Each structure stands twice: as C-alpha cells, then as structure tokens.
Amino acid sequence: MPKTTANRSLIALCAVLAGLGLVACANSARSAKTATPARTARPTKTATPAKTERPTKTAGHPSTAQPDTGAWGDVVVRVGRHSITKAMLAHWTAVEAVLAYTYKPKKPVPRGVVPDPPGYANCIAYLAKVEPGGASAGAAALKTQCEQERERVQDHILEILITDDWMHEEAIVRGVRVTRGEVDRVVSGEFASRANFHRFLRLTGEREADERFIVESELLVSRLAVGKPEGSLAGEVIARWTPRTSCRPGYVISVCRQYKRPASQP
C-alpha cells in the first residue's frame, strides 16, 4: 500500500481545492481529510522548481489542449484552452466511485460500487444486498438510486476536474511551472515499491499518468498559493475562469458559466 494513505490520490487533490474554498469534499470517504490542505501535510511538494528542467506535460491530465471551435463532439467542458471529454469524465467517475467507497483499497471493491449504465445490473444487484430493504425494493427503484448516485459522483469529480483546469490555466498565466523531475520524485516517495504502486493502480482503476497528473496538480496549486492571503487565490481564480468555463447541456454544474442559480437558493 502507499506510504501516506491520509493524503492519497484524488483525496489529496480534493483536500487542496477544498482548502482554497473551491470545492466541497463531503459525502465521501475523503470527507475527514478536508480540514487541512494537502500542501501543508506534504511540505516537500512546495520546493521551487529547477529552472534547468523541462516542465512536465503528463498524459494523465484530464483535459486536452485544443482551441474552442464551438463544436462539442465528444467534449463536455471547455476551460480556456483545455477540454474535458466524455471518455475522460467516465474514467474519472469510476475512479472517484472506488475512492469514495474506500480511500485505501486492500482488495477489489464489490461489483456494483461503480455504477454501470445504462442498465445498472451490477449496481442494482449490489444495492439489493447491502441496502436496508433493498431485496424488496424492486429493480426500478434500485435503478433510480443507481442513476442518482452516478450523477452525484460524476458531478463531484467534474467539479474537481474543472477547478483543476482553472489552476492549470492560472499557472500558465502566472508563469508557474512544475518539472517532470519533481513529479517523479514525489510519486516515487509515496510508494514503498513499484509493485505497491501498480497494485494501488489496479485496485483503484487509476493509470500511472493519472497519478502523475494528480501530483502535478497539487504542486501547481501549492505554488500558486504561496505568499497569498487565505482565500485570495480562490477569489481570483473563480473571477477569472468561471466566465471562461463552458459546459455542454446536460453537464452544467455550479462552476460553469451557463449555470443559473435556483431562485430558492440565497
């Protein structure tokens, strides 16, 4: 297992963003981790980047740089020069579902923990076993519950991916960089061995490039926050990037420029 289970993976990234006031990490297995941003729990990540190393561009970044042509295609969100696709969102939704079930898996999670549209057969069977009264609830009711859970998990991870893209865009504007060597050192230091690393990836559904992306994101956020009063970075990033965040119909959440706050909300 990883050496530092308290600040693992998406847990750490969510904690960093929650510490800045950009996302909420409640209602999942990571909720206890949000009081302290991961950058203070892992101070080795805040070192100044070496100027002689080339900045990293990891394949695990959830968005792909491309111009905003106006045509959606497979894209669900555009943030500045970056896009999040349906395939990327589906992948990260599955990872999020596993980590919400257990943030340090020791064995594969039960089938059905990750909602499986469109039929949700595994999810329905899982809920029938574990939910009080699930066996008598009926397939239609359980399917509705599966659909609602998938929507909740997807919206939560989409918020994390969008706000992360905000930070990557903000880093470009401010000239903040992270090097490949720095990412390598952090990833290597978090796992006792390559075998443990690959076991973690297998159990969570993450890819190695995903873990590199998460580490890079934590480093960028930490550096952007250096020397700033508490809360100021979040305000600046929200003001700059919300108007530049365009979400496809069906994927609009509170951090999208198309979002309309319900009249019942203050």
Q: Global pTM?
A: 0.75
Residue 79 bridge partners (DSSP): 82, 245
CB 83 within 8 A of CB 66: yes
Give the whole-angstrom CA distance, residue 77 versus residue 90: 13
pLDDT of residue 1: 30
Phi and psi torsions of 82, nearest 5°? -115, 155
CB 15 within 8 A of CB 30: yes
Nearest alpha-carbon partner for 83 in 63, 69, 68: 63
Q: Scan for tokens 């970056």, then name that residue.
A: 82
How many angstroms from the chain centroid is the CA of residue 47? 23
**Averaged pLDDT in 10-residue chunks for the chain of 266 residues:** 36 56 49 28 28 36 48 92 95 94 90 95 95 89 96 94 92 94 92 90 94 90 88 88 95 94 73
Residue type, 80: G
pLDDT of residue 63: 55
Residues contacting residue 98 through CB under 8 Å, at least 6 positions apart = 105, 109, 113, 114, 203, 204, 205
What are the sequence ranges of the domains in the chain?
A: 5-52+61-106+156-199+208-247
CB 122 within 8 A of CB 232: no
**Cis-peptide, bond into residue 43, ω within 30° of zero:** no
Strands (E) across the chain are located at 63-65, 75-79, 82-85, 245-247
CB 112 within 8 A of CB 122: yes
Q: What angle do CA 169, 22, 97 make, to 5 degrees?
A: 95
